[in-house]
């Protein structure tokens, strides 16, 4: 339909003050979506919904987003934090309204988001992508104050720099202790990438030092690939203690710099405690989190199973077989945006397929990956049979170098798709 | 919102959507997470025809074309799905 004839059709609605400034924009009458959280999930969803003609308001208290993927290289010392930082100017230029505030609550019946300042924002559909919060009640001795001494560095920013500076200040011959939680948590292979890169830093700069990785699990993502690399690259430096060998952290003491497990007490010069996690606390306040602390969703639309007209994506969601990764959050955000746009028009979205790829850097020019394809089945997201898997065991160093280069390329592309 | 306003809103939005593209086929939205502008280490898809993308995916799937990762992802789609994705990706370029 030409824009002239469309104007003709719409002239009957002349009592409504609207304009057809751009072909896809219909003034005030556009349905309203509010998005909570401007990370990989929320910022992607904002851009896609906006392009689909929905009016988008994005709630994000921070003017600068600090990305976690590749932040382990900041801890390693081979990347600066500035390369992890992104702003929201491009989103603003596209017409997305950004409100620099925390969402404090949601009234599902009135369809209103309440902001920390007390103002309210109406929505036709609400998308929550608040990421994670640390469970500072879950590990005795580990609270917000303890994290200033034993950093988690599981939200990138000051915590990342704190862990980096502690490693730099440590004497040669020191002991670094890492504590890794049980599933589910943000970025399943992330702790093992970090362990690899800390070990690489120690081997290169402080070779008499040791890294002990205390794990609340017996098995983990890309395990064989990591363990083969550790044996080859970091023998005598990196020691991994599985759950079955007493690896589960039961308590920490920042006063004594001790990490306590079921069988042992580990004195640390530097302690990196990755605590148990839950969906960002707004998910609980909005009523979309269940007893597990995470959010059950419909696998086709990412609609909350607990509250109407709300959708949850990214780390906060219970996405079945999909891991809590930036790649997954981005993939889910796009599927969710198209579902929300269709639902606002009264249409029914078709069953989607989603991808994930997580690269890990084990040493400079040494990358490995896990990739998979997912689809809804029996009400959850499951792997598509016969697809996916990890990098080949025993691949050449040339292949490992290529995967490291692809990892770098992935980060550039995704961060520019989301923020650029 | 009154019912009258809701009806008008739905009507206007559906008019607005006349310019919106048809929804992407299953899987297609994920590609842009890795495949971006030309010049990156991961090849860009822009400039490839639907046939070229379909053929490449088939070769990744069978193993005829060596890959670090696309072999694992290509196996997640049957021929019809792959062709739909390829056609959608190729059509993205021609739209404004
Ligand atoms: C060390 C490390 C390495 C990683 N490496 C990778 C990797 O290589 N590849 C990969 O794919 N993933 C990686 N990840 C995982 C990735 O960072 C997360 O999965 C991703 O950030 C999830 O996106 P999200 O949108 O759910 O949450 P986030 O990106 O955390 O965004 C949440 C946003 O919501 C905002 N927010 C929270 N509450 C509110 C509120 N009440 N009101 C308004 N705003 C709010 C926050 O300020 C934040 O900006 C890594 C993570 C870590 C810790």
**Does A263 lie in the same domain as A154?**
yes
Opening angle at CA A314, ends B23 and A386, nearest 5: 70
**Does A287 lie in the same domain as A309?**
yes
Q: Which atom of ligand 1 is nearest to the CA of A155?
A: 53
Look at residues A273, A293, A321 and tell me which one is the last residue of a structural domain: A273
- Alpha-carbon gap, residue B30 to A328, rounded angstroms: 9
Q: Point out the residue among A30, A355, A409 whose CB comes nearest to the CB of B73.
A: A355
Name the residue of A36, A155, A190, A191 whose CB sits within 8 Å of the most ligand 1 atoms, as the mutation to test its pocket: A190
Look at residues A258, A273, A288 and tell me which one is the last residue of a structural domain: A273
Residue A284 lies in a domain: yes
As given in the structure block, the two tokens for residue A230 are 């550790």
**Does A341 lie in the same domain as A309?**
yes
Regarding an ipTM greater than 0.85, the answer is yes
**Does A261 lie in the same domain as A285?**
no
- Tell me the pLDDT band of B4, cut-offs 50, 70 and 90: low
Residue A141 lies in a domain: no
**Does A62 lie in the same domain as A19?**
yes
Residue B96 lies in a domain: no
Give A2's Cβ-side CA count (13 Å radius).
Answer: 3
List the alpha helices (DSSP H) in B1-96. Answer: 3-16, 50-62, 70-74, 79-94
Name the nearest CA neighbour of A353 among B75, B36, B92, B45: B75
**Does A224 lie in the same domain as A190?**
yes
Q: Is the CB of A286 under 6 A from ligand 1?
A: no
pLDDT at A179: 98
From residue A213, alpha-carbon distances to A41, A138, A262, A273, B74 in Å are: 30, 19, 14, 10, 35
pTM of the model: 0.92
Per the structure, the complete domain to which residue B38 belongs is given by: 3-91
**Does A174 lie in the same domain as A264?**
yes
Question: Poorest-confidence range of A32-36, A402-406, B2-6?
Answer: B2-6
Q: What is the mean pLDDT of chain A?
A: 94
Residue A10 lies in a domain: yes
- Alpha-carbon gap, residue A193 to A199, rounded angstroms: 10
Secondary structure string (H, E, C) spanning A112-156: EEEECCCCEEECCEEEECCCEEECCCCCCCCCCCHHHCCCCCCCC
Mutate which of B30, B31, B60, B74 to disrupt the A interface (most A C-beta within 10 Å)? B30
List the alpha helices (DSSP H) in A30-78. Answer: 40-51, 71-76
Average pLDDT over residues B10-36: 74
Name the residue with the closest Cα to ligand 1, atom 46.
A37
**Does A100 lie in the same domain as A159?**
no
* Helix (H/G/I), strand (E/B), else coil: A371: strand
Name the nearest CA neighbour of A219 among A252, A245, A200: A245
**Does A163 lie in the same domain as A95?**
no
pLDDT at A29: 73
Residue A136 lies in a domain: no
**Does A411 lie in the same domain as A312?**
yes
**Does A120 lie in the same domain as A11?**
yes
Please tell me the distance between residue A5's alpha carbon and the centre of ligand 1 in angstroms: 45
Q: Is the CB of A38 under 6 A from ligand 1?
A: yes
Domain count, chain B: 1
- Alpha-carbon gap, residue A198 to A237, rounded angstroms: 10
Residue B65 lies in a domain: yes
Domain count, chain A: 2
- Alpha-carbon gap, residue A25 to A19, rounded angstroms: 8
Look at residues A220, A247, A273 and tell me which one is the last residue of a structural domain: A273
Question: Poorest-confidence range of A293-302, B20-29, B58-67?
Answer: B20-29
Per the structure, the complete domain to which residue A410 belongs is given by: 3-131+280-419
The CATH number that applies at residue A254 is 3.50.50.60
- Alpha-carbon gap, residue A348 to A249, rounded angstroms: 47
The CATH number that applies at residue B85 is 1.10.760.10
Please answer yes or no on whether B12 and A384 come within 8 Å at the CB atom.
no
């Amino acid at each position: 339909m030409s824009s002239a004839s469309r104007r003709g059709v719409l002239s009957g609605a002349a009592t409504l003050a609207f304009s057809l400034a751009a072909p896809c924009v219909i003034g005030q009458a556009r349905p309203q979506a509010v998005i909570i959280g401007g990370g990989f999930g929320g910022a992607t969803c904002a851009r896609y919904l906006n392009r689909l003609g929905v009016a988008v308001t994005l709630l994000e208290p921070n003017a600068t987003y600090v990305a976690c993927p590749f932040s382990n290289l900041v801890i390693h010392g081979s990347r600066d934090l500035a390369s992890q930082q992104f702003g929201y100017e491009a989103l603003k230029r596209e017409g997305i309204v950004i409100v620099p505030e925390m969402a404090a609550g949601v009234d599902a019946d009135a369809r209103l988001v309440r902001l920390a300042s007390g103002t309210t924002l109406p929505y036709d559909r609400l998308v929550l992508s608040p990421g994670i919060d640390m469970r500072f009640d879950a590990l005795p001795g580990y609270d917000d104050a303890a994290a200033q001494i034993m950093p988690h560095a599981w939200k990138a920013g000051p915590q990342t720099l704190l862990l980096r500076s502690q490693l730099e200040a440590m004497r040669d011959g020191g002991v670094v202790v890492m504590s890794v939680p049980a599933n589910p948590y943000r970025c399943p292979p992330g702790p093992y990438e970090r362990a690899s890169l800390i070990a690489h830093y120690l081997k290169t700069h402080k070779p008499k030092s040791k890294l002990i990785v205390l794990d609340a699990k017996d098995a983990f993502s890309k395990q064989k690939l990591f363990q083969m690399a550790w044996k080859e690259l970091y023998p005598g430096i990196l020691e991994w203690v599985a759950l079955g060998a007493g690896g589960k952290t039961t308590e920490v003491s920042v006063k004594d710099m001790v990490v306590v497990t079921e069988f042992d007490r580990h004195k640390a010069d530097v302690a990196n405690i990755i605590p148990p996690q839950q969906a960002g606390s707004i998910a609980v306040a909005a009523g979309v989190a269940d007893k597990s602390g995470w959010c059950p969703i419909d696998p086709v639309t990412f609609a909350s199973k607990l509250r109407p007209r709300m959708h949850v994506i990214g780390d906060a969601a219970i996405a079945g077989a999909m891991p809590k990764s930036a790649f997954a959050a981005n993939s889910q955000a796009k599927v969710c945006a198209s579902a929300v746009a269709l639902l606002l028009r009264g249409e029914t979205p078709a069953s989607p397929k989603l991808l994930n790829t997580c690269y890990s850097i084990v040493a400079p020019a040494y990358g490995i990956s896990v990739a998979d394809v997912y689809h809804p089945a029996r009400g959850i997201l499951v792997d598509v049979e016969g697809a996916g898997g990890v990098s080949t065991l025993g691949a050449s160093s040339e292949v490992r170098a290529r995967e490291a280069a692809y990892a770098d390329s992935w980060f550039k592309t995704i961060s520019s798709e989301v923020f650029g | 919102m009154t019912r009258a306003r809701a009806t008008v809103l739905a009507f206007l939005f559906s008019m607005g959507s006349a310019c919106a593209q048809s929804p992407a086929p299953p899987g297609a939205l994920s590609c842009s997470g890795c495949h971006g502008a030309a010049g990156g280490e991961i090849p860009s898809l822009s400039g490839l025809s639907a046939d070229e993308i379909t053929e490449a995916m088939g070769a990744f799937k069978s193993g005829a074309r060596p890959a670090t990762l696309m072999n694992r992802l290509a196996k997640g789609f049957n021929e019809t799905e792959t062709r739909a994705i390829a056609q959608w990706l190729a059509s993205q370029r021609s739209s404004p």
